[in-house]
Amino acid sequence: MNSYLHAARVLAINAALWTMLCALGALGSYSDGLREGMTRSYAVPLWNWFSTHLLMMVFSSAMYLLFSRRGALLGHARRIAAVYGLVVLLFLPLELAYVGAVYAVRGGAVLSPAHVWAAVQRLHNFDLFMELAWTSFTFIAVVAVCTWQRAREREQAWRQAQTDNLSLRLELEQQRLLALRSQLEPHFIFNALNAISALVRSDDKRVALTGISRLSDLLRYALAASSRDRVSVAEELQFVRDYLDLQRLRYGERLRVSIEGGDGPVLAADCPPLLLQPLVENALRHDLDCHDGASDIRLELVCEAGLLVIRISNPLAQAAPPNPGLGLGLRSTQARLQMAAGAAASLHTRRDGGRFVAEVRMPMELAA
């Protein structure tokens, strides 16, 4: 059914275009007739033009349908030239016979092969040239339209493929982000519960209840923030302070963290949720868990050259390996930074004067 509708649409469009051409041609003939003193109506030259080019209308429709269904014919110049040669050899004689028949009937002769042949013989060389020109023009126009449509379809298909590819990549990135979040949240919860269990073992119920209350607040933020693509640095910094308050119940006065920077523009900057806590937790693990003394953890947040820079460092204990590397929390943080800002964000670790330094660089504003 669709093929029949398509053919009917092609015929209708061709008929409309040829009617317009015939109307314009008839208007020129009618104007010439008026200048020569003729009094015939406009309908006469209009019918003459229309009847003379009726077969050309059918020809253009047939060529369009052929090239639409056999697109391979447009794939090479030689094929197009071969089809044009067949048109000149087969269709042009038929067009001349049709025009001869129209002229014979218009002249009042009975329609017969002899009268048609006689009418064709009376055609001037200019008439023969014009029929060849009309045939060639129609063929070239149809080829141009079909070529343009094929190019447009290829471009649309390419754009659709690009859109599908981008959609697939976006979906994969979203799934990857969800996997990272689901990986990070249990990691955070596990370490927070370890802190609570240490308080419980200390047999101080009041401190343990306080820790459970603070853990509840931390989990509430972690669950809410993990469902968002970005949060403010101010929110993350407050979360870190609450997390340190919980850990302080466990470590007491041994836990010493200095936070520097964090002015207005820095606090208003965007960052992925749960960005700072894994960095702080990593510093705690490589500091307090390696000795019995006080910690010396430093967290610095500054704006440098339009980038948000976060540095967190801790002393390297004597028993620390030469290259502490990236733990689970830092690997997840690095992956989420890349997903949030691509190559514009980075997480690097280094040894610097007996300290382990983790440095994050990222744009002050993340893309929506």
Domains, the chain, ordered by start? 2-162 (no CATH), 202-363 (3.30.565.10)
Q: What b/e readout covers 171-180, taking b as 16+ CB neighbours within 10 angstroms?
A: eeeeeebeeb
Return d(Cα 288, Cα 250) in angstroms, integer: 11
| CA–CA–CA angle 208, 214, 219 (5° rounding) | 120
Which alpha helices (H) appear in the chain, and where do they start and end?
A: 2-35, 43-52, 54-69, 77-86, 92-106, 113-121, 125-201, 205-225, 233-251, 264-268, 276-287, 328-341
- The reported pLDDT for the residue numbered 358 is 92
- Mean pLDDT for back-to-back runs of 10 residues, the chain (368 residues): 68 83 85 79 85 86 83 81 88 87 82 83 85 88 86 86 71 55 56 67 68 76 78 90 84 88 83 86 82 87 90 78 53 79 87 89 76
- The reported pLDDT for the residue numbered 322 is 45
Return d(Cα 258, Cα 251) in angstroms, integer: 16
Return d(Cα 129, Cα 25) in angstroms, integer: 17
What are the tens digits of pLDDT across the range 82-131? 888 888 888 888 888 888 888 888 887 878 888 888 888 888 888 888 88
- Give the rounded distance of the alpha carbon of 196 from its chain centre: 47
- The reported pLDDT for the residue numbered 174 is 58
Amino acid at 155: E
Query: Which residue in 351, 212, 222 sits closest to 286, CA to CA?
Result: 351
Q: Which run of H or E residues covers position 356?
A: strand 355-363
Its pTM surpasses 0.85: no
- The reported pLDDT for the residue numbered 182 is 52
The angle that helices 205-225 and 125-201 make with each other, rounded to 10 degrees, is: 180
Rounded to a whole number of angstroms, the CA Rg of the chain reads 41
